[in-house]
Amino acid sequence: MRKPIVLVIMDGIGIGKHDEGDAVFRANTPVLDWLMENCPHTQLKAHGTAVGLPTDDDMGNSEVGHNALGCGQIYAQGAKLVNNSIEDGSMFRSHSWQQIVANNVSNNSTLHFIGLLSDGNVHSNISHLKAMIAQAKVEGIKRVRVHILLDGRDVPATSALTYVEDLENTLHSLSDSTFDARIASGGGRMKVTMDRYQADWNMVKLGWETHVLGIGRQFSSAKEAIETYRKEYEVIDQDLPAFVIADEMIPVGPIQDNDSVVLFNFRGDRAIEISMAFDYSDFDKFDRVRVPNVFYAGMLQYDGDLKLPKNFLVSPPAIKDTLSEVLVSHGVRQYAVSETQKYGHVTYFWNGNRSGKTSEELETFVEIPSDMVSFDQRPWMKSAEITDHVLDAITSGQYDFIRVNYPNGDMVGHTGMIDPTIIAVETVDLALSRLMKLIDSFDFTLLVTADHGNSDNMIEVTKAGVKQPKTAHSLNPVPFIIYDRDTDYKIKPGEYGLANVAPTLLKIMGYQAPKSWLPSIIE
């Protein structure tokens, strides 16, 4: 091995247009600016086909981004997997779908769908939901209830009514004397159900009460709930409170014994906890009050090691020959660290959707608990603590490859608030300055990149020409920088994506990449 490496992933910090909505450009980033001016660097594609998504109109995300960074290859991901499964009919031939049909038809029971209602293609796509509802009618299921989680994060911040109207039109066109399909409950994705990394189980508890028990503030329609909450709370879609649809004070769709439930999100991180509540008989994170006997399935299996959920409609990509596996085969000691919000990304997603380590002896994973506050109120998050751990790992002399994720640019960027996001970007730059002081002393190579853009594009213009906060990821490229005082690396001409990082890292370390990998960025 030539030299040990520190890889910094500046989550959500892309290369923007240098305009008023580009918080990266507007931030004071002397270290990042110096690196870009003085070191070998290039731009990486971090969205669309470069990370296995269907088209280049699809924004990247942290999950597929870390998959690509960690495996050196491009696999069909998320929406593309589900699209293919619906188009070729394999979803409806799957064992789980056939069990759903058998359960609902034999028991004359209700099929429930829970998931994010948008076409953001990050967690879900409304087209998948509509296809499954239509197929349910074809196969003789009599009742469908949909529990909608409102987005405003991967799509425009106040676009929920567009998707509600689209779904309501579909349900109306399908409903007749033999088929009854309705929206039953809902709420904003950052308030209800879609917690991740066990950061806030109260979100999941509220989701259980809302979707399963039918407990909550009642409205006659989802549109009424959204319009009422917007007036009362003046918040964007992702922060709207929970609601229950009712007829004459009776909820239209609580989940009962013998029903079936499909979580139609395809992304895993915010699907795991609600899946645990349905799948685990010994679940103890909160009092479920009533646990209906249902057939539960996820769109995908969200955690292959935990086998969660037991039932799923579409098989995930079988990612093999990950960077961690290659390094372990060479006896390379690895260290991964982030705070709770992105800990799973430098471990689970990095390692090809595997929860465990490739080697207990050679891999060290460190999670720093995230603060339980809104990210705009504390945009520095846990960057200082993360950096402390990285510095300790460097000085220990125990590790040959250290990877670190700073979540600030992504998590604060998702709030849509540009001033806190500027601080978030500056915080990451400060962390880089601290790392740089030790990189030379301990003879490391520093690689700096990102998994996708976000904070680089914080303002969008509506069709009416009105500027509004943009909370979704961007389609912008991300930087890839090599800092090494002893070696002048040469960037090969060409276009590169996130999956080219792993082979580049291996080349710097002096190891051969698997034949299935993409080429290295350097000569």
Model confidence pLDDT, tens digit, residues 430-462? 999 999 999 989 999 999 999 999 999 999 887
Q: What is the pLDDT of residue 1?
A: 54
Widest pairwise Cα distance in the chain: 76
CA angle 352, 358, 364 (to 5 degrees): 105
- Would you give the DSSP letter of residue 235? -
Single-letter residue type at 506: L
Domain 5-76+333-351+360-390+400-509 coded CATH 3.40.50.261: no
Angle between helices 126-138 and 78-87 in degrees, nearest 10: 30
Q: What is the pLDDT of residue 425?
A: 98
Identify the residue whose tokens are 């923007």: 16
Average pLDDT, the chain: 95
In Å, how far are 11, 54, 69, 337, 375 from 77, measured between CA atoms? 19, 8, 14, 25, 28
Question: Could you tell me the residue ranges of all domains in the chain?
Answer: 5-76+333-351+360-390+400-509, 79-314
Identify the residue whose tokens are 């070729």: 88
Percent of residues, the chain, with pLDDT higher than 70:
99
- Round to whole Å and give the CA distance between 68 and 499: 5
The residues, ordered by sequence, that sit 6+ positions from 429 with a Cβ below 8 Å of its Cβ are 27, 28, 29, 30, 31, 32
pTM of the entire predicted model: 0.77
pLDDT score of 304 more than 70: no
| Catalytic residue list contains 396 | no
Range picked from 51-60, 191-200, 242-251 for highest mean pLDDT: 242-251
Beta strand ranges found along 229-388 (DSSP E) = 243-247, 250-251, 260-263, 295-300, 312-314, 334-339, 363-368
Identify the residue whose tokens are 């190579």: 445
Residue of 209 and 54 predicted with greater confidence: 209
Choosing among 3.40.1450.10, 3.90.330.10, 1.10.3720.10, 3.30.470.10, the CATH entry for 79-314 is: 3.40.1450.10
CA angle 203, 207, 209 (to 5 degrees): 120
Count of beta carbons in the 10 Å neighbourhood of residue 434: 15
Percent of residues, the chain, with pLDDT higher than 90:
88
pLDDT score of 267 more than 90: no
Q: Which residues pair with 334 in a beta bridge?
A: 363, 401
pLDDT band at 486 (very low <50, low <70, confident <90, very high): confident
Note whether 426 and 29 are within 8 A (CB).
yes
Note whether 478 and 43 are within 8 A (CB).
yes
Residue of 422 and 78 predicted with greater confidence: 422
Mean pLDDT of 186-196: 96
CA angle 111, 312, 324 (to 5 degrees): 150
pLDDT score of 302 more than 90: no
As given in the structure block, the two tokens for residue 319 are: 């990612």
pLDDT score of 31 more than 70: yes
pLDDT score of 139 more than 60: yes
Query: Mapped to the 3 state alphabet, what secondary structure does 52-92 carry?
Result: CCCCCCCCCCHHHHHHHHHHCCCCCCHHHHHHHHHHCCHHH
The residues, ordered by sequence, that sit 6+ positions from 425 with a Cβ below 8 Å of its Cβ are 13, 23, 24, 27, 29, 408, 409, 455
Which residue in 498, 519, 518 sits closest to 42, CA to CA? 498
